[in-house]
Amino acid sequence: MMLAVQKSSLHGTVAAPPSKSHTHRAFILAALAKGESVVSSPLFGEDTCATLDAVASLGASVQRRGEDVVICGGSLSAPGKTIDCKNSGTSIRILAGVAAQLAGTTSFTGDASLCSRPMKPLLDALAELGVTVTAAENGCAPFSVTGPASGSSVHIRGDISSQFISALLIGAPLGGRDLQIHLTTPLTSRPYVEMTIAAMRTCGVTVVTTEDGFLVPADQSYRPAPVRVGGDFSSAAFLFAAGALAGDVCVTNLDPADPQGDKMFIGLLESLGASVTHNPDGSVRVGSGALHAADVSLSDAPDLFPIAAVLATQCSGTTRLYGAAHLRFKESDRIKSTAQFLRDMGADITETDDGCIIRGPSPLHGAKVTTFGDHRIMMAAAVAGLIADGTTVIDDPGCCAVSYPAFVADMQALGADMRYL
């Protein structure tokens, strides 16, 4: 199946889907808390369902009640079967940190894409903590960890994936001792770590920020806490960009106080010249405006890169997106795959090591787009197709189910000419 997109004018209001990042953390922390937790309005996407299946394999009781999930946790153990995290990097990384604190061996695998993504810095850190790790020489999945960990101090890079640090933080209270995490490089995507720390605090565990990393003090345990998952600013960015480029779109179900780093996209739109209205109910309306170029660091919000690049093609002047070298290790090499589809659509774009340079505005035209199974590439290309002459044909549109299963339906409801082939 493919998706055909035609030039369109969008108008209307749509609710942002639930946050993928918050859902992962809510499911995992509920599984670690002794007792019953209710997670309300989570995202039921492919990645988060992989996490839900995994915590059930580790021994948590999981029940779905309508749009809520009830999890009874606190007694996890190494399972007798391999945990398949499918395409979810968040699942495999954070759960490896949890499994390292359990007695026995836990094995992990995933699809071909996940099995090519970096794991070695995390696995090396777990080995430093006394965990036995069995993996290929490149440190990618499939792998197994045999715990429990015995160390109280660990060193890890902070510039590959914030998920490595979240994995160590979330697993730490299970060890019953202080855990000092020393970062050997600057931390990228810091808002995701702050999101982890905030979620841990909600469940009764405190993390101390130190000069070179983090300290999780001993004698702490997770307690059940009701969680209502708010809207996803990462997914909302595609809706906002569609409004800025092709009409007028209002997005609801967003909390301005949410620590998600990708909410910076709203400020980016304002700085580039889009029309942005902040409504009293927390919703945000974005419409077209005279867009102009800027230099934009995405070090704290790398997931915005593909859609920010689409936006930049319509900015007057030269836009530089930088600070996101770790994008080359996502579901696809997102710098390369973004540059490829935009170049095929007529954009003047040059890759750099940590981003790209785009000279605009460029008239875009329809093209055949390869997503490489990457949900953010698929959605960014679909938005680009809304302003392109001719037909844009996107392969594997179903990959958006990883983070935003209703993306195409929501876009159609706003007036997008999108149809499956």
Active site (catalytic) residues: 303
The closest alpha carbon to 98, from 49, 166, 188, belongs to: 166
What lies within 8 Å, CB to CB, of 316 at 6+ separation is: 290, 291, 292, 293, 360, 361
What lies within 8 Å, CB to CB, of 53 at 6+ separation is: 84
Q: Is the Cβ–Cβ distance between 420 and 25 less than 8 Å?
A: no
What lies within 8 Å, CB to CB, of 416 at 6+ separation is: 5, 8, 10, 242, 246, 382, 386
Tokens of 120: 């070695």
Q: What are phi and psi of 157, to 5 degrees?
A: -70, 145
- How far apart CA 371 and CA 395 sit, in angstroms, is 6
Per-residue DSSP letter, 315: S
> Half-sphere exposure (CA, 13 Å, Cβ side) for 224?
14
What lies within 8 Å, CB to CB, of 337 at 6+ separation is: 306, 370, 371, 372, 374, 377
DSSP output for 350-408: EEETTEEEEEE----B--EE--TT-HHHHHHHHHHHTTSBS-EEEE-GGGGGGT-TTHH
Q: How many CB atoms lie within 10 A of CB 128?
A: 14
Q: How many CB atoms lie within 10 A of CB 328?
A: 16
Q: Which residue shows structure tokens 């620590």?
A: 259
The amino acid present at 228, given as its one-letter code, is R
Indicate the helix (H) or strand (E) that contains 309. Answer: helix 305-312
